[in-house]
Structure 1
């Protein structure tokens, strides 16, 4: 199924509390954060994307330790967005259709380990309800050939990754991993969601 043919979530929930700038945030895990970051940076209404870690403790929230797969963390991105411009539902649609393969358990391609799991780290009950409903919806209509394995986890804390990980794809477009894994996702986004992209 083409990404643009993916349905929006049937479960609609209020966006909830916004910050002092009127923005909301969505914390998503879908493999290497370099790739997920690059996809969401291109979406209209997304104000900032920060790569980081969630699911483990502050003491082990470093790239070297998280890469061991033993800390409980996942590589995540914190997507800060303007709900007056783009909805959480649409961002979830991009996440499940373009940003990663939600049917791969504890891996994305050659990146293997629980740190590369598919997960949404919710902050409010309304967000949890929408995500869980969307997963059931997508499984029911079989948009992917296999069941989704995306975990829905409460966000205890978000830990920003090291500075060199931020904005990585844009700063390193010639890096082989970016060309092989990240760039095709961004190109798919541009092809199938043209009218939802930043100028």
Structure 2
């Protein structure tokens, strides 16, 4: 069950068989139905989720009551609200499955003990956080420097299967425009 996670970890750090076995004793497993939430605004985030199968998203609800998708997590991606998880404060976000999903769960309550016993996992998570920070900065650059249509084309060129996988209103929200604008872009592309 944890094979994909162990393979992902092996891309960054080495674990012996005994260490891999120990790691697995700290992990949980959860099946999440489409549209089910693993975190809602106001709740304290208690875990980090590694997606084995499916897709999750992180979103907020703005003052107009509109959902704004800020992040997706697909196979081999971690997803959590670090501000809530690390500081044990209420989250400002929602985390929801956009399709049926299966995740590995690393609970906050066991994380420090796990890192103490397997310090190379701290390195693994540091590398992932550095990559996530770089990706977030790049996303901000795209939001501020490209037109909506250019953002769509960039995303579609780099993640074509993903564009077909998530509901269009969520994709539009993630790219920073309305579903109607996305429909216009897609109609235009279809006429080329």
Mark yes or no: TM-score above 0.5.
no
Structure possessing the higher relative contact order (Cα contacts under 8 Å, 6 or more residues apart): 1
Larger gyration radius, structure 1 or structure 2? 2
Q: TM-score, normalised by structure 2?
A: 0.31
Q: TM-score, normalised by structure 1?
A: 0.30
Structure richer in helix, relative to its length: 2
